[in-house]
Amino acid sequence: MLCNSLNITKNPKYRIIQIKDEYYLVNLTSNWLSYIFPMINWFIPKTYEKISRDEVDNLDLVNSNSDNSKMLFASGFGVLISVLFRSISSLFDVHLGRMIAIVLCLLIFFSIIFWHVYLQKKLTLKQYKFSKKNQKILLIPTLKNVMLLLFSFILFGFLSFGLIYLLIIENKQNIFVFICWGMVFTIFSVLNMFSIIDTKIYAKLK
């Protein structure tokens, strides 16, 4: 059944699925595998919390199309900046050695994990416990949603691997590349929160 997908302002962790006159709150980050493979949110039924219309009204909803436009603009701006910096990137070359490069990459990696822990606590809606594990909903995205996420997954996954390969395997250290890898991997790690980005979605209650 084709349903509405509603976003909560400044809280991409959740989606509200509207099926006719009923509302279901879904946590897109409930499965840790979604941080590696965000498309898993499409294949595994997710536990939902049924909420009332009044509760929906109390949650500050946002226009999804507006959010998507901002995200695409930010991605394009990031690509533009990287192209502009390419010509002067050699100025940021450093010679740290492979072991120091590995340590720095690990520090960046664990910093991203700690940021996620903080983000999870900040975004959690504590009034909803998702305690009824037998309440499941299967989310099937639109073709537009599938294409956008697959493109982002391949792009940021490839860049994450390519940059870490350059820094550690090729042993070519560059301050700008360290920063870019941290930013790219951070974006890759939050793709699960954008696995449902369209205003329409196919949903089936289990």
Residue 4 exposure: Cα atoms within 13 Å on the Cβ side: 14
Those residues with Cβ within 8 angstroms of residue 205's Cβ, 6 or more apart along the chain or in another chain: 19, 24, 136, 137, 138
Q: What is the pLDDT of residues 125-150, one digit of tens each?
A: 988 888 777 789 999 999 989 998 99
| pLDDT reported for residue 92 | 59
- Does the pTM exceed 0.85? no
- Residue among 183, 184, 164 at smallest CA distance from 174: 164
What pLDDT does 82 receive? 58
Residue 88 has pLDDT above 60, yes or no: no
HSE-up of residue 170 (Cα within 13 Å, Cβ side):
11
Question: How high is the pLDDT of residue 67?
Answer: 53
| Tens digits of residue pLDDT in 30-80 | 999 999 999 999 989 999 999 999 999 888 876 554 455 455 555 555 555
Tell me what pLDDT residue 69 has: 47
Over residues 160-204, the pLDDT tens digits come to 999 899 888 888 888 888 888 998 899 999 999 989 988 899 999
What are the angstrom distances between the C-alpha of 171 and each of 111, 156, 177?
22, 21, 12
Q: What is the mean pLDDT of residues 3-18?
A: 91
